[in-house]
Structure 1
């Protein structure tokens, strides 16, 4: 009679604290984009003190984080999507404004040197 080998399964990844059961697969929680929103507020403050233009993404980000903590994943996803779009718009506008400021500064410097 042959010795029987025990059936032992070792998970390749640790489940970690608060992870879902191995059999169930759930969607990851939505991101809140708070760091990106704070960066946009700081960039807008650097551009002529217009920090108020960076606040809407920050508000949506904080709402997404609050909804996620309460357990309202649908509200968190909705606010997360709004924060993402608002952050993209703010980042693009900051980049365009910064580029315009650099171009105007270069034009002014070149005209002053020519005179």
Structure 2
């Protein structure tokens, strides 16, 4: 006896009464910024284990994906905006921390060479 698997597909958008035609989209889907959030978490973890500073961006990114799958585009737009702002703040803070670290390392190395 041979077992067969059924092909199952789940649509990512709701196909309600107000859905747009397949070839025409009136509003673009909000971006979820998950890759940027994961990159921020990894960079902050590499910089002294401070990955918790970028977890809010990752949470908002995942909430954006959840809202998109559920068909709640307004909630997805709101969470997408929060994820973008949190990722910008994390990226700027990481850049500043890296520049400060490089400056301190240069000062320490130059003071070691002088003495």
Report the TM-score, using the length of structure 2 for normalisation.
0.80
CA gap 1:22/1:69 in 2 versus in 1, 3 angstroms: closer
CA gap 1:69/1:25 in 2 versus in 1, 3 angstroms: closer
- Report the counterpart of residue 78 of structure 2 in structure 1: 78
- Report the counterpart of residue 12 of structure 1 in structure 2: none
Runs of 4+ in 1 over 4 A off after TM superposition: 22-25
Give the aligned length.
97
1:45-60, aligned counterparts within 5 Å?
Answer: 45-60=45-60
- Report the counterpart of residue 68 of structure 1 in structure 2: 68
Cα displacement (A) at 1:21: 2.8
CA gap 1:23/1:96 in 2 versus in 1, 3 angstroms: closer
Q: Specify the structure having the higher radius of gyration (Cα).
A: 1
Q: Which has the higher contact order (CA 8 A, sep 6+)?
A: 2
Gaps of 5+ in 1: 1-17
How far apart in 2 are the matches of 1:25 and 1:53?
Answer: 36
- Report the counterpart of residue 8 of structure 2 in structure 1: none
Q: CA RMSD in A?
A: 1.6
| 3-state SS, counterpart of residue 108 of structure 1 | helix
Gaps of 5+ in 2: 1-12, 14-19
- Report the counterpart of residue 100 of structure 1 in structure 2: 100
